[in-house]
A and B are shown apart, each in its own frame.
Chain A
Amino acid sequence: MDRAETQMAGKSVAKGKRKKAVRGASRGWSTNGAQAAPAKWVGQPIRRKEENRLVSGKGIFVDDEKMPGMLHIKFVRSSYAHARITRVDVSKAEKFPGVVCTLTGAEIKKQVQPFIEIGPGGAQKIADYPMAVDKVVFQGEPVAAVVAETRLAAEDAAEFVEVDYEPLPPVVTAEDALKDDSVLHSAMGTNRNWHGVFEYGNVEKAMKQAAHVVHIGRLHFHRFSSTPLECNVILVNWDPRSGDIEYHCNNTFPSFASQFLAPALGVRIDQIHMKSFDIGGGFGIKITSYPYMAVCALASRKAGGRAVKWAETRIEHMQASAHGNERTFLDTRVALDKNGVILAIDSKHVDDCGAFPRYEPLGCVIWAQVLPATYRVKNIRIDMHQVVTNKCPVGPNRGYSRMQHLWFMERVIDICGQTLGISADDMRLRNYIRKNEMPYKTPNGCVYDSGDYANMLALAKNLVGWDEWKNKQAAARKDGRWIGLGIGSTLDSGTNNFGQARIINPDAPFSGQSKVGIVKLDIYGEVVVSMGSVPQGQGHETAAAQVVADALGITPELVNVRPGFDTAHNAYTGHTGTYASQFAVTGLTAIHGAAMKLRGELSRLAAWKLQAKEKHLEFGVGAQGPEVRVKGTQKAINYWALANLVNVNNAGMPESLWDVTLNCRHVFHANFQIPDVKRKYGNLTLTYAAQVHAAVLEVDRETFQPKILAYACVDDCGKAVNPRIVEGQVHGAAAHGIGAALLENCAYDSDGNLLAATFSDYTPITAMNMPELLYGHLESPSPFTLNGAKGMGEGGAAPVHTICAALQDALYPSGVIIDDSHNTGDSLFRSLQKAESGGYAGMVRVEHQRASR
């Protein structure tokens, strides 16, 4: 299929939908001088409201902001991964011209409480200070800071800080960490900070009844990051008069950060003010910037209440902000019936969270949102461990914790399929959860809301030209070419239930999920929306305007959405942030609720003023702008007049209307329960967007480089609020995943030195590496959400699964087992050498049991 055709195929769904919306338009609207508009803005692929501002250089990023008397901070960082600090001497730096003060870990220890630990037991004893106190546990960990009048002075002076280290044995791999030969946090006494067994059904019985049991050796999901264009930036002022801390900062989960900062710094949460405007990408990596936020605040206080700015450099970002979780999968056993249907999976997983469990060990349960992946398997036992190692702490990187598990499940499907001679597509069709089984309850009590994986696969195969490529592959194999076809099925679970933290720690005092939206009519009748989200490029302003436009019967241009997040808007709860694929559900439902409240108030006001019954009123846009009118008459009152009545001109208003504020706040609550902690059972998340990708690639016989020959992405996120934004998110997630699969790797050497501290070595994906993406879209509306929308955007690392699958398909005849999520020409060259020398012998082993079953 050529490109034009596939684009048609991809667009046909959206086109059909648009038609429907237009048809609806003739019903709802009695035009009164207003221009024609669709009945519903939700579902329209309108251009993003924020685009013009951003592409014309009018975005406001934290580093664009200044405060009077602003100082700059420079961190002095450890070059060792693991070492005792024997001396820190800041005296020379303090004398440097322009330096205002310095900070050391020892000094900070006296001023703050260690950060809250989420983990139970021994993990509670970890003393996580925002700066190393007496030992460093990862390369790049801050050991001191210099605060100066200019950034240049701070950088110059930092070179005069003297630090002596006594190196300790570094712990670099998860397997080494489990040995506890060298321990990072002596108070915890071990490197294993969490352990639990997730067991459902009857695994052993299924193993006995199986026709085949496949044993799989070590699999490894590598460390990578998101490398947002904008690194972490913090501008803070700790006002000595009020004791209030004002942050301009691009942390993307401010409510989480403030709950960690307040007890550490000894302030009330209402004294922490946070504000962002535009953010140059986040992908979860900026959630754990709170240690830096703490140090910067302390620096401001020490400097006598002068503002302090920190703009992280790329090397700092690579070494010491956050990476994604690395995971190793050991001793896997898979039970299958004679048709290749998986009956049971048993495996040991070791997650590596780097030097400190920040946000962790939540990753030890988040994956369980997608326990059986897209498959019907009922009997599962995962022996889950998490360890600390001398590497950069992890953060909830896009696809967080689920993608590692989903990759594991996709490897299991492909390895079993190949072992039993069942093709990749067939293997999936035999095991997928069926459309008519939705909503589907997983063995651990999660509910998959909707989805049609088989149909997505059919569309992906069609887009990529699967059958045709199968034929070409057979011919090419005869010529000795390594062509492979691969499928990646994945889930993007969204709107998480924080109650799952109880499975990690029964005492964790948080659960559920909530978000705030505020819609008000300002004094001159402007519709103003404050979002309880922290947008980083996801088009929240646009989607919010579409929802409010529908609620009030106006157009998105008439809806003013305040960019960014600001605690002053009071649009937050303790769950507020942008993470875990949820804005389309949580944020928009909150905003919708607020808009409907405003609509109710406007209706009551208008009924009084127009002397009509509320049921006879309609909302729309008239010659005088947005208005409420009496159906079938010329009687109308516009928003300015309505706002005026409440705010400025309210003498004579009946007491029954005094509760009308035109400033409406709504809190979205997801209907979640606290899971059964003992059984590790319960509904952990609300929606399940799905992605099925298909790829054809060729491994060059002479360079060993994998080349993508065709690539299709099919996405289903329920009702797409804005299909254009959805497609953009799919493209971005696909690029990110392809980068992770082929280019991006936070590799460490055995001494704990990060080998990818610059872009020259990390090589984030560029346009030169990208294949054409063939895009298809299905809509399985969620029965649980407003409009049937589902959160999306993380993408579930579909390309990582897909590319590994295609590589496996290409090289399986040569004896290679793709056992790592990251593959390069070099690594494939070595894999083929390993295969030649019999290195994969025993990596996959099948026991054929009673074939009758």
Chain B
Amino acid sequence: MYAAPFSYHRAASLQEAVKLLQELGEDARLIAGGQSLIPLMKMRMARPTALIDINFVSELGDIRTPKGELHIGALVRHADLEHSAAGATIPLLHDCAAGIADVQVRNQGTIGGSLAEADPSGDWGTALLALDTSVICFGPGGQRTVPLEDFIKDAYTTVLAHDEIVTALHVKLPLKGSGGAHLAFKRCAPVYPTASASVQVMIEDGNMCKDARIILGCVGLTAIRAKEAEAALRGKTLEEKNIRTAADAARAAADPQSDMRGSADYKRILVGTLVKRAIGIAARRARGESVEAGHEYAGR
């Protein structure tokens, strides 16, 4: 379990990282937390010839809230978000961060790496779509901002050019009256979910759904925005019947594949249930209730 030979480079600044990416060519890769890349390298399923370490680039590890927006640096670890004030005010972020793998992976893995990896089962790619998120990228031409829905194009594929780096995410702070939840079913702790659902709802007059975002994870090549499911809630009361309709619409939107995590039919059933439960939690949070929620695990 040793990686194929590679050279190691430590970038001190974004500019240097970009320069190194250009110089070292297509087979060079950035390394952040290493929690996706290193296992692949050890199995020799990834064989970069050079690694460019961005862990020493300053200012990529910040969580800040400038005017109405949450700024999350690309190097922010899952554990940082789990324990952050932002996680406390936006519970969906906490649900997501705290449910990733185990303590070791959460301490090491980064949010930027997770989006750049674009794993179809990655939690951040699902959770952040339920909020208004844009990805800040830095390249030879300077900085550009890409809405998250345009950032991930396909499984393991983003719009990033080879010499581009994710530097931060900007998440619009949810308005008052809005609440969300990210819920997944996982067989055991250190594995990706079998299915996941992220829901953000805006509520008026106690039970009227003004707006909803419903995102499905692990049931397609990328996270899927279930627009029909959203429509089933928008402008309607959050009563059981409407929630069931939304869950069914979510099932119809899913496009899962069979694997060791479960059969396609089962994942479709499962994701609808997760949507339904996430709506319930999101609605309670939107009403200002403090609801502790966590993923579901086999046996418990």
Binding site for B on A (CB under 8 A): 151-152, 155-156, 159, 313-315, 700, 702-708, 738, 742-743, 747, 755-756, 759-761, 763-771, 824-826, 829-830
Contacts and interface: CB of A to CB of B under 8 A. Distances in A.
B43 A315 contact: yes
A159 B262 CA distance: 33
A704 B299 contact: no
Contacts of A760: 190-192
B2 A763 contact: no
Given A702-B273, A704-B266, A829-B265, A743 B298 contact: yes
A704 B269 contact: yes
Contacts of A771: 299-300
Given A702-B276, A766-B102, A761 B300 contact: no
B296 interface: yes
Interface string B30-58: 00000000000001100000000000000
A452 to B, nearest CB: 30
Contacts of A152: 2
A312 B263 CA distance: 32
Given A156-B4, A829-B269, A759 B298 contact: no
Interface string B1-13: 1101100000000
A825 B195 CA distance: 12
A703 B271 CA distance: 9
A765 B265 contact: no
Contacts of A156: 4-5
Given A763-B191, A768-B189, A707 B300 contact: yes
Which of B102, B266, B274, B298 has most chain A Cβ within 10 Å? Answer: B298
Contact of A761 (B1, B5, B189, B260): B260
Which of B2, B4, B262, B296 has most chain A Cβ within 10 Å? Answer: B2
Contacts of A765: 188, 299
A742 B299 contact: yes
A34 B296 CA distance: 56
A425 B240 CA distance: 39
A835 to B, nearest CB: 15
A704 to B, nearest CB: 7
A830 B263 contact: yes
Given A763-B191, A770-B299, A705 B185 contact: yes
B273 A703 contact: yes
30 contacts: A315-B43, A702-B269, A703-B185, A703-B269, A703-B270, A704-B266, A705-B185, A707-B300, A708-B300, A738-B299, A742-B298, A742-B299, A755-B260, A759-B191, A760-B190, A760-B192, A763-B188, A763-B191, A763-B298, A766-B102, A768-B188, A768-B189, A768-B300, A769-B297, A769-B298, A770-B299, A824-B298, A826-B266, A829-B269, A830-B266
B227 interface: no
B269 A743 contact: no
Nearest to A153: B2
Nearest 3 pairs between A and B by C-beta?
Answer: A702-B273, A826-B266, A826-B262
B131 to A, nearest CB: 25
A148 to B, nearest CB: 12
A262 to B, nearest CB: 32
Interface in B89-148: 102
B210 interface: no
B188 A769 contact: yes
B162 interface: no
A738 B274 CA distance: 24
Contact of B263 (A159, A700, A826): A826
A444 B248 CA distance: 58
A705 B276 CA distance: 16
Contacts of B2: 151-152, 155
B236 interface: no
A302 B98 CA distance: 52
B271 to A, nearest CB: 10
A210 B188 CA distance: 46
Contact of A764 (B186, B188, B265): B188
A477 to B, nearest CB: 21
Interface of B: 1-2, 4-5, 43-44, 102, 185-192, 260, 262-263, 265-266, 269-270, 273-274, 276, 296-300
Contacts of A313: 1
A763 B43 contact: no
Contacts of A764: 188
A629 to B, nearest CB: 55
A830 B266 CA distance: 8
A517 B298 CA distance: 44
B102 A825 contact: no
B270 A743 contact: no
Contact of A756 (B1, B44, B260, B266): B260
A766 B190 contact: yes
A825 B299 contact: no
Which of B189, B265, B276, B300 has most chain A Cβ within 10 Å? Answer: B300
A767 B298 CA distance: 11
Nearest to A312: B1
A767 B299 CA distance: 11
B281 to A, nearest CB: 15
Given A702-B273, A703-B273, A768-B300, A825 B43 contact: no
A763 B185 CA distance: 13
Contacts of B5: 156
Nearest to A706: B299
Given A315-B1, A760-B190, 15 more contacts: A151-B2, A152-B2, A703-B185, A706-B299, A708-B300, A742-B298, A747-B260, A766-B189, A766-B297, A768-B297, A770-B300, A825-B298, A826-B266, A829-B266, A830-B263
Contacts of B300: 707-708, 768-771
A813 to B, nearest CB: 21
A826 B300 CA distance: 15
A753 B44 CA distance: 19
Contacts of B273: 700, 702-703
Contacts of B269: 702-704, 829
A144 B298 CA distance: 40
A743 B187 contact: yes
A175 B297 CA distance: 34
A744 B208 CA distance: 44
A760 B259 CA distance: 11
A75 to B, nearest CB: 13
Contacts of B265: 829-830
A369 B274 CA distance: 47
A759 B190 contact: yes
Contacts of A743: 187-188, 298-299
Contacts of B263: 826, 829-830
Contacts of B102: 766
A771 to B, nearest CB: 6
Contacts of A830: 263, 265-266
A756 B263 CA distance: 15
A704 B43 CA distance: 34
A771 B300 CA distance: 7
Contacts of A703: 185, 269-270, 273-274, 296
B85 to A, nearest CB: 26
Contacts of B188: 743, 763-766, 768-769
A574 to B, nearest CB: 36
A763 B266 contact: no
Contacts of B186: 768
Contacts of B190: 759-760, 766
A718 B263 CA distance: 45
A827 to B, nearest CB: 9
B254 to A, nearest CB: 14
Contacts of B185: 703, 705, 825
A825 B262 contact: yes
Contacts of B299: 705-708, 738, 742-743, 765, 769-771
A156 B189 CA distance: 32
Nearest to B102: A766
B266 A705 contact: no
Nearest to A697: B299
